[in-house]
Amino acid sequence: MSDLEAFRAETRAWLEANCPAEMRLPVRDEGDMCWGGRHPVFKSDAQKRWLETMAGRGWTVPDWPRDYGGGGLSPAETKVLKQEMARIGARNPLMSFGISMLGPALLKYGSEEQKRRFLPEIARGEIRWCQGYSEPNAGSDLASLQTKCEDKGDHWLVNGQKVWTSYADKADWIFCLVRTDPKAPKHEGISFLLFDMASEGVSTRPILLISGNSPFCETFFDDVRVPKDQLVGEVNKGWDVAKYLLGHEREMISGMGLGGQTGALGEALKEACAADPLLRADVARFDVDAMAFRAMSERFIDELKAGRAHPAQPSMMKYAGTELNKARHELVMAAGGSDALEWESERSRGGKAAREWLRTKANSIEGGTSEIQLGIVAKRILELPGA
Ligand SMILES: Cc1cc2nc3c(=O)[nH]c(=O)nc-3n(C[C@H](O)[C@H](O)[C@H](O)COP(=O)(O)OP(=O)(O)OC[C@H]3O[C@@H](n4cnc5c(N)ncnc54)[C@H](O)[C@@H]3O)c2cc1C
């Protein structure tokens, strides 16, 4: 038995023994996902136990070094773990912007002290992070951001406003882009700062959507004092950190193209297909695209772990994955007919299909719009003239 086969057998047995049955059921709603944080909300004992068990083994972040709370697994072992979790339908124990976005940036750009301070907390899900990038006049053109950060000798002083800050009202800390040199060319006067959302001068105002949900906020900074050692990388070089983090964010969002644990379109769709040849053709086309995306995604992850991925490849994956996810939900709605538009009835599980369909519209905006990703692919991967 090769080492990897032995690891697979061991992992399979460990998961069988440790993954609670409830944590093998498909995720039905937001409450089924665990976000951790200073005041974590657990839907059940099983959810809490699953997080603690996985974190105890470093398997919330299996490929991070053990010194920083990770599992110290190789890329091949990490892939085996993911395959074995998928085999039994095991849920991700922790949803975390710390894991999917900030962690990789800290591993590359953080000081040793910052890594030891922040990464283990992220791995254990003890701190919930939010992302302070977008501002009212800086979305696609992110480098135009204006949140002011002044060097006051023994601390930084931050003033300004962010917008669309997902879950800012629930987050404990923020990773934030700030302008430290207003006179420099716009990409060269930005720094990357970490601070506690409980700091004096930080306030959030949830943005109420038509659905009644408030998944994101306006975030205000009014004379917020930030300790000097919470700036990541070099002063005025935060754009490098920001771009690197965006690559990881886009990689994470592209995973939507895989459509959850099975990527399946569901029973309703299969029934509708039997009666409607046009829909059947659309589903067949979708299935081929989904298979191609799955293959591309696996190759991309392998290349990424081997350090061979093109730095702009996450833009390609994000574009393909989010457009595919939108197509998936268009098909679900087409198959459901007018019933799928039900918004509140018990039969429709509170309008699950319609709400999920509408949510996918944001997939091609969050983390950078599809138009921007196409621009990056044209310029950096295809090297098209004039792009
Ligand atoms: C669900 C969701 C969650 C989000 N969470 C966060 C978060 O946690 N933190 C955070 O900082 N931000 C967050 N955002 C903000 C997101 O990053 C921005 O919405 C996005 O970058 C687009 O910026 P904008 O909304 O200002 O649109 P704009 O930049 O004003 O764009 C408007 C339109 O113009 C197009 N456009 C703009 N420039 C170009 C160009 N050069 N070429 C072609 N077309 C162009 C865009 O594609 C878009 O269609 C979130 C957004 C959503 C929808």
Cβ atoms within 10 Å, residue 376: 22
- Chain centroid, CA 66 distance in Å: 22
Q: 229 exposed, middle or buried (CB, 10 Å; 0-12, 13-18, 19+)?
A: exposed
pLDDT top residue among 117 and 262: 117
* Cβ 169 under 6 angstroms from ligand 1: no
Interval 236-251 mean pLDDT: 96
Tokens of 111: 């000081």
Tokens of 163: 């917008």
Nearest residue (CA) to ligand 1, atom 23: 139
Instruction: Give the pLDDT score at 209.
Output: 85
**Confidence bin at 307 (pLDDT 50/70/90):** confident
* Cβ 378 under 6 angstroms from ligand 1: no
Instruction: Give the pLDDT score at 31.
Output: 84
Q: pTM for this one?
A: 0.94
Instruction: Give the pLDDT score at 264.
Output: 53
Q: Kindly give the number of the ligand 1 atom that is closest to the alpha carbon of 359.
A: 1
Angle 318-319-320 (CA atoms, 0-180°, nearest 5)?
A: 95
Distance 57 CA to ligand 1 centre (A): 37
What percent of the chain has pLDDT above 70?
97
Average pLDDT over all residues of the chain: 93
Distance 135 CA to ligand 1 centre (A): 10
Instruction: Give the pLDDT score at 1.
Output: 66
Distance 22 CA to ligand 1 centre (A): 37
pLDDT top residue among 210 and 169: 169
Interval 232-245 mean pLDDT: 98
Distance 98 CA to ligand 1 centre (A): 21
Range among 117-131, 322-336, 353-367 rated most confident: 117-131
What are the pLDDT digits (tens) for 269-302?
777 777 888 888 888 898 899 999 999 999 998 8
What are the pLDDT digits (tens) for 65-78?
999 999 999 999 99
| SS3 labels along the chain | CCHHHHHHHHHHHHHHHHCCHHHHCCCCCHHHCCCCCCCCCCCCHHHHHHHHHHHHCCCCCCCCCHHHCCCCCCHHHHHHHHHHHHHCCCCCCCCCHHHHHHHHHHHHHCCHHHHHHHHHHHHHCCCCEEEECCECCECCCHHHCCCEEEECCCEEEEEEEEEEEECCCCCCEEEEEEECCCCCCHHHCEEEEEEECCCCCEEEEEECCCCCCCCEEEEEEEEEEEEHHHEECCCCEHHHHHHHHHHHHHHHHHHHHHCCCCCCCCHHHHHHHHHCHHHHHHHHHHHHHHHHHHHHHHHHHHHHHCCCCCCCHHHHHHHHHHHHHHHHHHHHHHHHHHHHHCCCCCCCCCCHHHHHHHHHCCCCCCCCCHHHHHHHHHHHHCCCCCC
* Cβ 375 under 6 angstroms from ligand 1: yes
* Cβ 372 under 6 angstroms from ligand 1: yes
Instruction: Give the pLDDT score at 261.
Output: 44
Of 164, 165, 208, 246, the residue with max ligand 1 atoms within 8 A of its CB, to mutate for a pocket test, comes to: 164
Catalytic residue, chosen from 249, 267, 303, 330, is 249
Distance 386 CA to ligand 1 centre (A): 23
| Residue 262 pLDDT greater than 80, yes or no | no
| Residue 13 pLDDT greater than 70, yes or no | yes
Of 366, 373, 384, the residue with max ligand 1 atoms within 8 A of its CB, to mutate for a pocket test, comes to: 366
Of 102, 130, 140, the residue with max ligand 1 atoms within 8 A of its CB, to mutate for a pocket test, comes to: 140
Least confident of 252-266, 278-292, 315-329: 252-266
Annotated active-site residue 267? The verdict is: no
Distance 369 CA to ligand 1 centre (A): 6
* Cβ 164 under 6 angstroms from ligand 1: yes
Instruction: Give the pLDDT score at 332.
Output: 87
